[in-house]
Copies of this chain bind each other. A is one copy, B any other.
């Protein structure tokens, strides 16, 4: 295994590990618990489920891996704060979108070659990329894993003991 293949594996393993842990944690919560706040006055569990689904879904066009599945999630879970949009999908629907998006994203990731992970993503211009070659797809994946770990830590506080 070359170092290039190795670090793509390391980044993907790390992503999948936090995705599995977060998925298991959300599954532990009842639909009623999903409507509760993580800590007093903070985001609800449902908001973080929708937020993570939207952020993961956005990787598909960002990496040139296809159209998004649920662009309608951006307004209630990304651009607006929790509790500011009154009409949001049900917990049941969101759980289904979460699984659907992660499955699609992971299936698409399997087809990306190690070399392609080092290519530029859609939000950086060719000119900027030539000066800043670290702004590649793999770097976004590393940052998305940290973002996932950040929110997983928060949802973990809401777990029953």
Copies of this chain, complex-wide, total 2
Question: Does A102 sit at the interface, judged by CB under 8 A?
Answer: no
A157 touches B11 (CB 8 A): no
Interface string of A1-25 (1 = CB under 8 A from B): 1011011011101100010000000
Q: Which residues on B sit within 8 Å (CB–CB) of A143?
A: 14
Q: Which residues on B sit within 8 Å (CB–CB) of A13?
A: 134
Which chain A residues (110-161) contact chain B, with CB distance < 8 Å? Answer: 118, 133-134, 136, 138-139, 142-143, 145-147, 149-154, 156-157, 161
Q: How far is the CA of A121 from the CA of B11 in the complex (A)?
A: 18
**Selected contact of A6 from candidates B133, B147, B149, B150, CB within 8 Å:** B133
Give the distance to chain B from A44, nearest Cβ to Cβ, in Å.
13
Q: Which residues on B sit within 8 Å (CB–CB) of A118?
A: 3, 6
